[in-house]
Structure 1
Amino acid sequence: MTKTIVVLGGAYAGVGVAHRLLKYTKPQVKDLKVILVSKNSHFFWNLASVRAIVPGVLSEEQYSQPIEKGFAKYPADSFEFIVGSAEDVDVTAKTVKISTTNDGGERVLSYDHLVLATGTRAVDNSVPWKSNGTYEEVSAVIANIQDKVKTAKHIVIAGAGATGVEAAAELAFEYGKQKEVVLLSGSAELLDGDSLSSNVAGELKKLGVQVQKSARVESTHELPDGKTEVVLKSGDKIVTDLYLPTMGMAPNTEYLPANLLTDRKFVDVDEFYAVKNATDVWAAGDVVWKPRGSFVVSDKQAAGIAKNIDLVLKGKAPTVVKTLPMDVLMVATGRSRGVGRMGPVKVFSLMVYLIKGKTLGVQSLPGYVDGSAF
């Protein structure tokens, strides 16, 4: 009897689980079938989104590639790719209702094991920090921002977390004094007061980024001339050619029963990354936010889940999923420098540049798509 694994989400965690199961479990579990469901037909390397908005720096192929072709090497009866989104999960009946994108239809999938890897989304659909929609929608958002960047003389980036800092640094690195780049921090310090805050502030100053702290955005209004008026909680107003919000991420969990979620609407998992209050359901990546969203953590979670599904299919007990022994944070500040830490120990700028800032990892995209990275 076929053992069907349904994986929801076509990004780092979902694609990682699917490839690992097909590469390492399928040869031993002959009747295994993996069904991967993704709203985006392409794997979007969102780590590079902050650089993708800068015209002429990256080609689309460097940060976005078709998912399905990467699975073509597996037997046809062992893999199915569905472009669509989950609408409902019944953990008792072990079924998932899918809304398919290409034909606007609906399918109900039965599973033996279900993997939740639907990640998070940007609350504002006008920015590409996450894959908020289909391939066509994400491509259109990036193209629109690139067009606006070309003509903008003044750019405001709201939110001074890692994404906001990196976006501001990329723009300032590319344009220098040609464009005025303003970074608004809702908190009194950058990175919400992380120990790297002062280091980041120093790097941004070198690039000419104007940083405003304790500058929380109250509202924004598009003006008749196409500019945007940004109203701060202090009452101050800023008129800008281009407004890019980086704050506001929400988990993609609306399709799930409430008893599977934490009070913050992320998926609640145990130490095996099995979903609590469900049987044969697993979750990884930003959708669990444990300990927080991270590319490296997501990959380790995906590896752990694939291993545990493999064990359970073979009648063995799952093992505890281990991620990182310490909290790691690396922030690129343009295309030549960066700041970072491993736990409390700060990392040299050159190391951050070599590990992250030089390419933002785009060289790894082909390996994720075709499975050779795993």
Structure 2
Amino acid sequence: MKLTRPSRHPQNSHFFWNLASVRAIVPGVLKEEQYSRSIAEGFAKYPDDAFEFIVGSAEAVDPTAKTVRVSTTSGAEQRELTYDHLVLATGTRCVDTAVPWKNNGTRDEISSLMAQTQAKVKAAKHIVVAGAGATGVEVAAELAFEYAQGNDKKEIILLSAHEQVLDGDSLAPNATSELHKLGVQIRPSARVARTHELPDGSGKTEVVLENGDTVVTDLYLPTMGMAPNTEYLPAALLSKQKFVDVDEFYRVKNAEGVWAAGDIVWKPRGSFVLTDKQAAGVAKNVDAALRGKAPSVVKTLPMDVLALATGRSRGCGRMGPVKMFSFMVYYIKGKTLGIQHLPAYVDGTQF
């Protein structure tokens, strides 16, 4: 069996470790090779007749004909690939493409965007982080950890659309406490209505809230708004929210031989840990199908887990309703944001 891997959103030659993007925006903390790695290099050890990596964009899937139409990076060539089994793992993207939280472009585009963001962070004295979900909390904490004190002190404001951060999750008080320790200013019930750059040439952004209040800032970093990368798929394969609809085996409904895992299914939500478990389950079931065996129910986690890095020395988290100690979250996630695992994920030795 030959495995072919086309990409979709974006046409990217590199694996982007987006967990580290919240820290990578701070100048001088991470090197690019720590959060971005060539996919082709990871598969160099495999024989050419066993694997083909196509840097391109999946434009259409025909579940009846079992074909995928792919546009290559040049845009001048299209290929039609046939499959026996197809795994959909195209994830989600940031609605606002001006921030580098997700792999929203080619390797060169992502690299350039990260460098631009780092330069803006370095120059700014006042930064607004909009959206107080997990990403927003971590972004605000990383910035405050680096710039809360010293000669290069910056004012960090976190806008929460709800009365509490994390949409009132049971972890909200802990996250709020950690952010306050770092000097982050949290503005509750502050949903962004619109933004625009001031016309005076200063480069500042005016953030207009739904309640009519305005905030003028040197740097505006939105963290809310994710869209599934599913435009290339037939509507019959999608839920009302445009995510891929799967059964308990993570087989895509209304399609033979099609599977899905990760943020593209958003089940029960987007999460690195859930994606990891789902991917392992799908791999096991594809292998079973090739051997003529029945699939197994894909099991993820027995409880909902949420862990947040709050800077480079602490964290907060919970396992179900049980709170985790800060040092536990730090060692599990916050210390490195998992970048040490990137090479093993790319070359397969992680599994």
Mapped to 2, the partners of 1:77 and 1:300 lie a distance apart of 28
Mapped to 2, the partners of 1:358 and 1:89 lie a distance apart of 41
Q: 1:68 aligns with which of 19, 40, 47?
A: 40
**Cα distance, 1:104 vs structure 2:** 3.3
SS at match of 2:115: helix
Q: Which residue of 1 aligns with 2:98?
A: 126
Q: Which residue of 2 aligns with 1:188?
A: 163
Q: Which amino acid aligns with 2:175?
A: V
Q: Which residue of 2 aligns with 1:314?
A: 291
Q: 2:174 aligns with which of 196, 199, 213?
A: 199
Percent of matched pairs sharing the same residue? 73
SS at match of 1:77: coil
Q: Which residue of 1 aligns with 2:193?
A: 218
Q: Which residue of 2 aligns with 1:258?
A: 235
The gaps in structure 1 that reach 5 residues or longer are 1-31
Q: Which residue of 2 aligns with 1:174?
A: 146
Mapped to 2, the partners of 1:315 and 1:201 lie a distance apart of 52
Q: Which amino acid aligns with 2:27?
A: P
Once the two structures are superposed, residues 108-129 of structure 1 have per-residue CA deviations (whole angstroms, 9 ceiling, x without a partner) of 1111110000000000000111
**TM-score, structure 1 normalization:** 0.91
Q: Which residue of 1 aligns with 2:315?
A: 338
Mapped to 2, the partners of 1:104 and 1:183 lie a distance apart of 44
Q: Which amino acid aligns with 2:340?
A: Q
Q: Which amino acid aligns with 1:365?
A: L
**Cα distance, 1:265 vs structure 2:** 0.4
Q: 1:284 aligns with which of 242, 250, 261?
A: 261
Q: 1:95 aligns with which of 42, 62, 67?
A: 67
> Does the 8 Å contact 1:83/1:102 carry over to 2?
no
Mapped to 2, the partners of 1:228 and 1:217 lie a distance apart of 13
Q: 1:50 aligns with which of 10, 22, 33?
A: 22
Mapped to 1, the partners of 2:135 and 2:87 lie a distance apart of 27
1:40 matches 2:12:
yes
RMSD: 0.7
1:301 matches 2:270:
no
Q: Which amino acid aligns with 1:80?
A: E
> Does the 8 Å contact 1:83/1:100 carry over to 2?
yes
Q: Which residue of 1 aligns with 2:109?
A: 137
**Cα distance, 1:302 vs structure 2:** 0.8
SS at match of 1:373: coil
Q: Which residue of 2 aligns with 1:272?
A: 249
Once the two structures are superposed, residues 212-232 of structure 1 have per-residue CA deviations (whole angstroms, 9 ceiling, x without a partner) of 000000000011321100000
Mapped to 1, the partners of 2:123 and 2:110 lie a distance apart of 21
Q: Which residue of 1 aligns with 2:54?
A: 82
Q: 2:84 aligns with which of 112, 115, 119?
A: 112
> Does the 8 Å contact 1:37/1:85 carry over to 2?
yes
